[in-house]
Structure 1
Amino acid sequence: MPQTGERVDPFRSFNFLIEIEGIAQGSFTECSGLGSTTESIEHRQGGEGNVRKLPGRTTYSDITLKWGSTASTELWDWRQRIVDGNVDRQNVSVVVHDMDRSTEVARWNVTGAWPSKWELSGLNAKGNEILIETLVLSHEGVVRA
């Protein structure tokens, strides 16, 4: 915990890595969608004019990962197992490092993830952009460790 009056800089969004249990995929260029939502249920008790709001069901957003396409097929194979009807859930961690990339400063552990969508960026013979693969992960929960 910082001392009173001590400057605390926010984490940088580009110093991150993704750990996928059993899959040694290289660098990801983007990770988005990490979040949760809890429904608000309105309830009115008899005789009271006020409406109370109670927490309802919590859902978790799908996570989208993007990376430059390489010869590695590990993520493709994971997605293909789902397409073939073999549910293969993996635990995933999103890890943020300090500016020197030497110290872990934050971690979110995602449980029971499985790839629900894969997409390849557009191909264009006139362009010079990197070919980007996108994988969307559905999951059962996220915890900040």
Structure 2
Amino acid sequence: MATRIDPSRTYNFLAVFIGLGEISFSEISGIAVDSDVVDYREGNERFNNVRKLPGLRKFANLTFRRGYTPDDRLWQWYARLANGANERYNGSIVLLNEARKPVMRWNFVNAFITKIDGPMLKAAGNEIAIEAMDIAHEGLTMELESQGA
């Protein structure tokens, strides 16, 4: 009998910034890579068609959201960037299985904050105070974790 392989759930994950540590988030989006297409044609081509060649790869900004906590590492990082520091971090977004073991990870390189949002405050509401951060990066790779299965 074949072993059943269920897909991973999206609610077990963590984010690790090498140099800042593990930081908890309630939502991460933007795990995406896009590639330009370059049209090319030589003058002596027999057919009147354009060749499609792969161009530059582009990586979407990653967006991290979490409930507001007294942990100010992100705001301190942003403050250093705003004061002229070229402070970039490599890191990983790690998907975990039901036993909280790593299943796969997306590794990003040379990341820096491009936007940080404080919580929306509303006197008549009872929602959780959410802060958000966008980071730009220069590369994204995915790897499977052997111990996660």
TM-score by length of 2: 0.88
Q: Partner of 1:129 in structure 2?
A: 127
- Amino acid across the alignment from 1:144: M
**Cα offsets for 1:12-53 (capped at 9, x unmatched):** 111100001122454200000011111011112323212210
The structure-2 alpha-carbon separation of the partners of 1:24 and 1:137, relative to structure 1 and needing over 3 Å to count, comes to same
- The whole-number CA distance in structure 2 between the counterparts of 1:99 and 1:25 is 19
Percent of aligned positions that are identical: 37
Q: Partner of 1:89 in structure 2?
A: 88
Tell me by how many angstroms 1:98 deviates: 0.6
Could you tell me which runs of 5 or more consecutive residues in structure 2 were left unpaired when the two chains were aligned.
144-149
**Cα offsets for 1:58-104 (capped at 9, x unmatched):** 11110000111111111100011111111100111000111121x21
Asked if the contact 2:68/2:119 (under 8 Å) is kept, the reply is no
Whether 2:74 is the aligned partner of 1:75: answer yes
Asked if the contact 1:109/1:143 (under 8 Å) is kept, the reply is yes
- The whole-number CA distance in structure 2 between the counterparts of 1:26 and 1:17 is 7
Q: Partner of 2:113 in structure 1?
A: 115
**Structure 1 vs Structure 2 CA RMSD:** 1.5
- Amino acid across the alignment from 1:18: A
Aligned pair count reads 141
- Amino acid across the alignment from 2:28: C
**Cα offsets for 1:90-130 (capped at 9, x unmatched):** 111000111121x2100111111111110023210000111
Asked if the contact 1:25/1:74 (under 8 Å) is kept, the reply is no
- The whole-number CA distance in structure 2 between the counterparts of 1:68 and 1:77 is 17
TM-score by length of 1: 0.91
Asked if the contact 1:97/1:105 (under 8 Å) is kept, the reply is yes
Q: Of 6, 9, 30, which aligns to 1:12?
A: 9
Give runs of ≥4 in structure 1 deviating > 6 Å. Answer: none
